[in-house]
Amino acid sequence: MKNVMEYKGYKARIDYDGDDKCFIGHIVGINDVVGFHGTSVDELKAAFEEAVDDYVATCAAVGKQPERSYSGAVMFRVAPEIHASFAQMAELQGKSLNQLGEEVMKQAADAIKATRDPKTGKLDVKTTRLALTSVAERKKRA
């Protein structure tokens, strides 16, 4: 089962609430909180599209540029020894830390996409782990 919807470039994560017997969705990748719900797939789809359209209209009304998912800036903390090892690997390859990081993340994302079941859209966790391990091993040998 696929738990993602897409409309006008916005994506939403969908969950099911068994207590309320309805689907609940939230637009991902934006700083604003935009949610919607529906008791059927058709109702949920209509609510999602309305939520996106309302979000864009509200932004226009208040003079704010609507956010798009992901700017391309990724910031996270790692242990100093991992940072040092990665920086050295980048320098040895004649790349910046950002260039190597983007390359490794793209390889990992491609490996994950390749493990997605084309019919259901679900990831096979075991296959994904193997694919990511393979990416990591190739990087170590580089």
Contacts of 95 (CB under 8 A, 6+ apart): 103
pLDDT per residue over 60-113, tens digit each?
A: 999 998 887 666 777 888 899 999 998 898 889 888 888 888 888 888 888 777
How are strands ordered across the β-sheet holding 4-7?
A: 4-7, 10-17, 22-28, 35-38
Q: Residue 101: what residue type?
A: G
Question: What is the pLDDT, as a whole number, of residue 120?
Answer: 67
Q: Which of 82, 108, 104, 106 is nearest to 93 (CA)?
A: 104
Domains annotated on the chain, with CATH: 4-62 (3.30.160), 80-141 (no CATH)
pLDDT per residue over 50-69, tens digit each?
A: 999 999 999 999 999 888 76
Enter the pTM of the model: 0.53
At residue 121, does pLDDT exceed 60?
Answer: yes
Neighbouring CB atoms inside 10 A of 132's CB total 15
Question: What is the pLDDT, as a whole number, of residue 126?
Answer: 66
